[in-house]
Structure 1
Amino acid sequence: MSETDNILIIGGGSAIATELIRQTSANDPSAHLYVVSRSQRSDAITDVSLADWIELDSTDADAVAEQVSQWREQGVLFNRVISTIGVLHSEQFHPEKRLEDIDINALMQVFTVNTASNANWLKYAPQLLVKQRAEWVVFSARVGSISDNRLGGWYSYRMSKAALNMLVKTAAVELQRRLKQAVLVSYHPGTVDTPLSEPFQANVKPEKLFTPAFTAKQLLTILPELTVERGPHYIDWQGEPIPW
């Protein structure tokens, strides 16, 4: 990367985002790192030099629009955007095991975070990305694959991630005309040892439960290898394609 690269990480309060911030800073000290998060800057990255830490709720479309407007006034364009935003469960709801478990209010919360929040940002890709090669990554999940769904269940999460994948794929069609060098990626990080997966780790083999550091390293290693011509990319932590 060049000395003028700007990198944006959205969802900066997560464990994976923290690792992305630390590793990006270590790998490319000259890059200007911008981080968007609902929370204050973590003590885990106080030693990392950032261009800006923005406290912002990505479900708030007006707040996102205002921030984008500020960057445009400042002439800030990004070479790489990575969104780690996502929710699987909360104290109020859990992944559904059967059809009767579907609760529309919970479903809408999951869609708001997993899909709408990313749409709030991706809609500004033509205004935020540089004209030369640029990368926009959203954290998706293998369970968002429609053709690979053999187990069922987890209705809200599956639906929201499938919708997120469709957002990425549809945006890629438009950006082929408007930003020909943009690489769009839906990334499945595997099962990572974070609060999101914690209630569901019992049946995960130890070698398949990854650390945030590992999945961040895998993504940052894979990204430069992805081509515009073969995009958009729906890939796992090994860089292997996942059927849409």
Structure 2
Amino acid sequence: MLSHLPENFTAVVTGANGGIGNAIIRRLLTDTHVGNVIAVSRSAISPQDSFPQEPFSKEPSPNVEVVNADITTQSGRDTLNQQLNGRPVHLLFNAIGTLHDDARDIQPEKRLEQLDEASFAHVMHVNAATPALLIAALKSSLQGKHPAIIASLSARVGSIGDNVYGGWYSYRASKAAHNMLMKTLSIELTRLNKQSIVLCLHPGTTNTLLSKPFQARVPSEKLFTPDFVAEQLLKVMSERSPEDTGSFWDWAGESIEW
């Protein structure tokens, strides 16, 4: 599945309770090359219920370690780092993000006057700052001489060159900032680990809670299942090499302009 990675590799997946994060873990569990999967979620999950042994597999499931931690906080990132305890991480897949939040009264802005300072700061923190802070927290597990893929979910609307419709100020800005942070840290990580590959990934419109309020106008063939997206994104990751580090790709393996 991920031929760049060694036998018994260690994977960390954040947003393990979300649609895409959960589907990525399920896909990884079908790969006999996987050693440990660390499933990180803000809410409690059961590895037995969420990530069952595949019935057709003759091999035992890899060891799933569940870490209940909110990685948008320093304490949550510290908890994950303590769980790893210096182990090399070969795959870090970040699937957390926010677009709307009823509890905080956050919705994508259609007009400039809808910009709200607190909402903007929250969206920027979750979508842009948190992935970079997560990678900084796990830096000791990512540097070295081992192959390492660091993939973080972005969005096509974060492309400045592709912005022809406007709107969605906070979300667009947060994903554009996310992409710049990933590009910048990819340069530093190359100096610390020449086998590192940092990728920004656009999953397409996926049938998850994040996109739920905005699916009405999406053609059925353009609304993807989390399982399909997981399969596609793992394929995209498998086709990349260290020369591709700091790049932006969609679910179909097409490069996206910044």
TM tier, smaller: over 0.9
> What residue identity is the alignment partner of 2:171?
Y
Paired residue type of 2:197? V
Distance 1:169 1:29 in 2: 28
Question: What SS class does the counterpart of residue 185 from structure 1 fall into?
Answer: strand
**Is 1:86 paired with 2:97?**
yes
Provide the rounded CA distance (Å) in 1 between the counterparts of 2:106 and 2:147.
40
User: Contact 1:25–1:31 at 8 Å: present in 2 too?
Assistant: no
Partner of residue 7, structure 2:
3
Q: Which residue of 2 aligns with 1:58?
A: 71
Cα-Cα RMSD: 1.6
- 1:240–1:192 Cα change, 3 Å: same
Q: Aligned letter for 2:71?
A: S
User: Per the alignment, do residues 149 and 45 of structure 1 end up closer, same or farther by CA in structure 2, a change over 3 Å counting?
Assistant: same
Structure 2: distance between partners of 1:219 and 1:133: 18
Q: Give the distance between the partners of 1:28 and 1:233, measured in 2 at CA.
A: 28
Contiguous gaps of at least 5 residues in structure 1: none
Instruction: Select between 231-240 and 172-181 the one with higher mean Cα deviation.
Output: 172-181
1:78 and 1:39 mapped to 2: Cα distance?
23
Structure 1: distance between partners of 2:72 and 2:131: 8
| Shift, 1:59, TM fit | 1.1
Matched, 1:176 2:190: yes
In the alignment, does 2:110 pair up with 1:106?
no
Which moved further from structure 2: 175-184 or 47-56? 47-56
Percent of aligned positions with the same letter in both sequences? 39
Unpaired segments of 5 or more residues in structure 2?
Answer: 54-60
Q: How does 1:199-214 map to 2 (within 5 A)?
A: 199-214=213-228
CA distance in 2, matches of 1:154, 1:50: 40
Counterpart in 1 of 2:153? 139
Once the two structures are superposed, the pairs formed by residues 162-201 of structure 1 within 5 Å of their partners are: 162-201=176-215
Question: What amino acid is the match of 1:61?
Answer: Q
Question: 1:145-183: per-residue Cα shift (whole Å, max 9, x none)?
Answer: 111111100000001101100110000111221111100
Aligned equivalents of 1:120, 1:175: Cα separation in 2: 14
1:82 aligned counterpart, secondary structure: strand
The answer to whether the 8 A contact 2:10-2:89 is kept is yes
1:127 aligns with 2:140: yes
The question of whether the paired residues in 1 share the 8 Å contact of 2:13 and 2:92 is answered with yes
Tell me, yes or no, if structure 1 residue 117 matches structure 2 residue 130. yes
Aligned 8 A contact 2:109 2:170 in 1? yes
Asked if 1 retains the 8 angstrom alpha-carbon contact of 2:28 and 2:34, the reply is: no
Structure 2 equivalent of residue 26 of structure 1: 30
Cα distance in structure 2, aligned partners of 1:38 and 1:233: 28
User: Which one-letter code corresponds to 2:247 in the other structure?
Assistant: H
Do the aligned partners of residues 49 and 178 (structure 1) sit closer, same or farther apart at CA in structure 2, a change above 3 Å counting?
Answer: closer
State the SS of the aligned residue for 1:147: coil
Q: Which 4+ runs in 1 deviate beyond 6 A?
A: none
Name the counterpart of 1:224.
238
* Other structure's SS at 1:26 match: coil
Structure 1 residue 16, shift from structure 2 partner = 1.0
Is 1:95 the counterpart of 2:108 in the alignment?
yes
Matching of residue 77 in structure 1 with residue 88 in structure 2: yes
Return the letter of the residue paired with 1:79.
Answer: H
Q: Identify the residue that residue 155 of structure 1 maps to in structure 2.
A: 169
CA shift, 1:124, in A, is: 3.3
Match of residue 44 from structure 1: 50
One-letter code of the match for 1:24?
L
The one-letter code sitting in structure 2 at the alignment partner of 1:77 is P
Q: 2-side partners of 1:19 and 1:70: how far apart?
A: 22
Aligned length: 242
Q: Distance in 2 between matches of 1:45 and 1:66?
A: 22
Following TM superposition, by how much is the alpha carbon of 1:46 offset from its aligned partner in structure 2, in angstroms?
A: 4.6
